Amino acid sequence: MKPPAPDSPAARGYRMPAEWEPHQATWLSWPHKRESWPGHFEPVEPAYAEIVRALAACETVHVNVLDAGHRKHVEGILGRQGVSGDIRFHLFPTNDAWCRDHGAIFVVRDGADAPLAAIDCDFNGWGGKYPPFDLDNRIPGRMAGELRVPAFRAGMVLEGGSIDPNGAGAMLTTEQCLLHPNRNPSMDRAAIEQRLKDLFGLNQVLWLGEGIVGDDTDGHVDDLTRFVARDTVVTVVADDRDPENRPQLAANRERLKDMRLADGTPLKVVELPMPAPKFCEGQRMPASYANFYIANGAVLLPTFRDAMDAEAARILAPLFPGRKIVPIDCLDIVYGLGTIHCLSQQVPAA
């Protein structure tokens, strides 16, 4: 394997931990852009408060808001719904709410000064689809400054929802997203792989193909396949209710069957169902149970008022001993084309 670039995070001993490793906090950006939920914004804030409730029961919650008036508005919503805990507000205005993709991605190292650092990736609105994104693009640096940790410029367009690490040197991603010309057209596959290794302390990148139908991010892996242990993934599969998704999900399932970690260990693969297709005014929504978020004491599972909600919870429960599966009704939230994992970004303990 090629050595990491000098002065890169990997060369300095940093790695991206798995999501199930201990957190000091979760970071969110409060939703405010009504155009992201056209005609359906009113239920979103109360639903979002339920995400904050579940997180605040486990760990500190940082929340980006537009200004002092917006903070008062959000505090009112949380107060009316009886949500409390260590909730810290930051007057860091954003263009939209998707903190997984516009927030800093954190890396850690052992036995050294500066055990926590932030990776500041370029954000271009998922390939230029949703301008403006200038405020979102400033958020990683503002998060790093608030936490007083060093920040490394990634030198590439990258969203947090497009990658999923096992904390032990492997990372999942998709060709549809990372190789899309609307992200990093001057970088080929080999260059992208090396940059990921340099940024996140990896020894391998595991490539899946296409993401789910309705995902406007060009196939983010956090709607598709997720590590739940060093050598174990869950991956969504489609049945006869969802013929649009069956071909690409079956192809990804075949790839996973043949994947090996760097030490030769095959991946254990657990299948998750997909909910029945969900639509908003004729547009397919990216409703997926793979968009769960792993907090310190809980796994927040998006649900969709669907017959498969309980089955998804049943499958995930034994994979997370010691954590409670907390269903969060996301049928209103997913009308914005994302759910819990898309909205959240973990800050690892260091």
| Predicted pLDDT of residue 241 | 87
- CATH class as words, domain 23-348: alpha beta
Rounded distance, CA 305 to CA 124, Å? 33
Angle, vertex CA 30, rays to CA 55 and CA 302, nearest 5: 50
| Predicted pLDDT of residue 166 | 98
CA nearest 234: which of 208, 214, 260, 253? 253
In terms of pTM, does the model score above 0.95?
Answer: yes
Transcribe 253-322 into DSSP letters. HHHHHH-B-TTSPBPEEEEEEPPSP-EETTEEP---GGG-EE-SSEEEEEE-S-TTHHHHHHHHGGGSTT
> Three-state DSSP class for 36?
helix
Which amino acid does the sequence have at 177? C
Q: What is the pLDDT of residues 280-291, one digit of tens each?
A: 999 999 999 999
Domain boundaries, the chain: 23-348
Q: What is the pLDDT of residues 109-153, one digit of tens each?
A: 998 788 999 999 999 999 999 999 999 999 999 999 999 999 999
With b meaning 16 or more CB within 10 Å and e meaning fewer, what string describes 234-258? Answer: bbbbbeeebeebeebbeebbeebee
CA-to-CA separations, 117 to 6, 29, 346, 347, in angstroms, rounded? 17, 20, 13, 10
> Three-state DSSP class for 348?
strand
| Predicted pLDDT of residue 350 | 85
Cis peptide before 115 (omega within 30 of 0): no
Catalytic annotation, residues: 342
The answer to whether the beta carbons of residues 175 and 184 sit under 8 Å apart is: no
- Ranges of the chain with pLDDT below 70: none
The answer to whether the beta carbons of residues 243 and 209 sit under 8 Å apart is: no
Rounded distance, CA 249 to CA 251, Å? 5
**What distance lies between CA 181 and its chain's CA centroid?**
21
> Quick one: DSSP state of residue 35?
G
CA nearest 86: which of 53, 48, 59, 47? 59
Which amino acid does the sequence have at 331? L
Side-chain half-sphere CA neighbours of 152 within 13 A: 26
| Predicted pLDDT of residue 73 | 98
